[in-house]
Amino acid sequence: MLGIATLKIQTAGYSGQQTGAELKIEGLEYFEELRELIMEFVRGKKPEAIEAEAQEAEDSTLRILKEVSTIRELLEQSSRK
């Protein structure tokens, strides 16, 4: 009615030990999208958005590493003088 839902999550290993959900997220507006994202992880498929974020993180890490290497080289050069 309000366009929100509660998403309940439990793992297979947890289900035999307890009754109810392992995790409950209440008041979600985009619950179907979040449910699908979680299910993609469960199925072992990386969602496209996650792959793009991983590539961006890798690119950022490489840029940072390059910058740190440049700083180190400059410091080594200045200490030799």
Residues 51, 30, single domain; the answer is no
Q: How far apart are CA 35 and CA 41, in angstroms?
A: 10
Q: How far apart are CA 81 and CA 66, in angstroms?
A: 23
Our count of domains for the chain comes to: 2
Residue 47 has a pLDDT of 59
Residues 34, 59, single domain; the answer is no
Reduce the DSSP state of residue 24 to 3 states and report it: strand
Tokens of 24: 């409950």
Positive or negative, the CA dihedral 61, 62, 67, 71 is positive
pLDDT above 80: residue 52: no
Residues 36, 54, single domain; the answer is no
Q: How far apart are CA 54 and CA 30, in angstroms?
A: 23
Residues 58, 79, single domain; the answer is yes
* Prediction pTM value: 0.40
Residues 38, 17, single domain; the answer is yes
* Domain carrying residue 68: 46-81
Residues 39, 55, single domain; the answer is no
Residue 51 has a pLDDT of 67
